Amino acid sequence: MAPFANIHTRLSRGLGSRGFNWFLASTFVSSLGRNGYAIACAWILVASGDGSATVAAFFATVSLTELLVSPGAGWISDRFDRRRVFIVADCVRCLAAAIMALTSSAWLICWSAVLFSCCDRIALTTSQAMIPMVGKHLAPSTSNSVTFFSMQVGGLVAAILVGVLLHITSAAMVFIVISAAFALSVGSIWAAVADGGSSTPARTQDRVKLPMDLRLIHLGAVYAILYGGGLLVSTMGPGFVFDELSGDVLDFGALESAWSAGSIIGAILLIPLARFAQQGFLLIAILFFTALLFASVKLSILPWSLLIFAALGVVYNFGRVAVEVILQTIAPHGALGRAKGLFHCSGVSVGLIIFGFVSLSGDRFAPSTVFLMFSAVVSIMAIILVVFRSQHDGRGDQPGSVE
């Protein structure tokens, strides 16, 4: 229990910074907005009777936009004042959600998704690249864990709030709430820097190079697999509840809440286990646990499904935070935006493969069967990474660089 005893001390010291507190507030409401947007759009499409294929097409549109935008988002994050970039992107997300409040037709959802996802990627890349500066008084494991904790709490609130609002009111009201969340995020990030936080990299100025070595490639592969798993849950979750479990929107909200609750635990878990974050076996173990849990969905009924998705949330976010901490130790701060952009490109590429498979297969495969297939793919990739790592242990990396 010793590793857990110092969590309160670390958090108390971190939360004593007003600038960091405002940054966490922005992370929370921004996450509420972005997750609420995705959940609302996914359920509206499923409830329209078009099935999981339409949801996959929606997320494919989002992912293709992010794939094209991610490299530029990283460059923008490293080149300009990150607070101002974030504020502009958040204002556009606010506008996109407000447009959705006018009508929730399928064609408008797709057009809004392009605008939203473009600015969403810029905002998220910029926000995460700010963590080392606004949380510089904390250990990287603590600042990242607390930030991701705040992010996942926002996702949990979004899952609960959107599920309830869709049940008792109209979709327009849901998108008005989402738009208001982004407006609050703008005010919070402005206050974060005004109260002593910093948003600008240590002069992104002299075109700091991003070293490309085997460790970074290995880390990017783990990120891509985990990110793909998260997208698969978002894509197949509504259909799994609606088609296989015969559930309603409240059941879907419960599943999303279980996923978010697990993610909250996963985010904070790295604080007591920070010393393990740099060890390669940890990320490989996370991949194998992820594969096991996805395979278990096939055999579950609703109460057990909630536990499985909660456990998936734990390992998913624990892995994501561990990757983030390692990345911040091996990538220069002035190149962190570009590193995040490249990592996200790899994750989105996996997502596009998933969306393409789901869209082309239509409803020939049950959602739980798709989860089982993904489990097999994750297991194979984990084995490949073990072999890859063992072959290069003890060898000197030959780094390149990215401008």
Is 323 in contact with 140 (CB distance < 8 Å)?
no
Tell me the three state secondary structure of residue 297: helix
Tell me the three state secondary structure of residue 267: helix
User: H or E stretch including 29?
Assistant: helix 18-45
Structural domains present in the chain? 18-398 (1.20.1250.20)
Distance CA 78, CA 200 (A): 8
Is 23 in contact with 40 (CB distance < 8 Å)?
no
Region at 51 (left for phi over 0; alpha for psi -120 to 50; beta for the rest): left
Taking only the tens place, the pLDDT of each residue in 146-176 is 888 888 788 878 878 887 888 787 778 888 9
Distance CA 323, CA 329 (A): 10
pTM of the model: 0.74
Taking only the tens place, the pLDDT of each residue in 81-110 is 888 888 999 899 988 888 887 776 666 777
Taking only the tens place, the pLDDT of each residue in 247-270 is 776 777 777 778 878 888 887 877
Residue 206 has pLDDT above 50, yes or no: no
Amino acid 4: pLDDT: 45
Distance CA 278, CA 27 (A): 25
Amino acid 212: pLDDT: 64
Distance CA 399, CA 403 (A): 13
Both tokens assigned to 112: 């809004």
Both tokens assigned to 78: 């490293």
Residue 271 has pLDDT above 80, yes or no: no
Residue 202 has pLDDT above 60, yes or no: no
Distance CA 100, CA 110 (A): 10
**β-strand partners of 212:** 400
Distance CA 119, CA 305 (A): 33
**β-strand partners of 211:** 401
Distance CA 158, CA 256 (A): 9
Both tokens assigned to 21: 């507190």
Residue 30 has pLDDT above 70, yes or no: yes
Taking only the tens place, the pLDDT of each residue in 277-334 is 556 677 888 899 999 988 888 776 667 788 888 899 888 888 888 888 888 777 777 7
Is 75 in contact with 338 (CB distance < 8 Å)?
yes
Q: Answer positive or negative: Cα dihedral of 150, 151, 156, 157.
A: positive
Tell me the three state secondary structure of residue 402: strand
Mean pLDDT, the chain, whole residue set: 77
Amino acid 28: pLDDT: 92
Is 223 in contact with 347 (CB distance < 8 Å)?
yes
Helices (H), ranges, 199-301: 214-239, 249-269, 280-296
Region at 207 (left for phi over 0; alpha for psi -120 to 50; beta for the rest): left
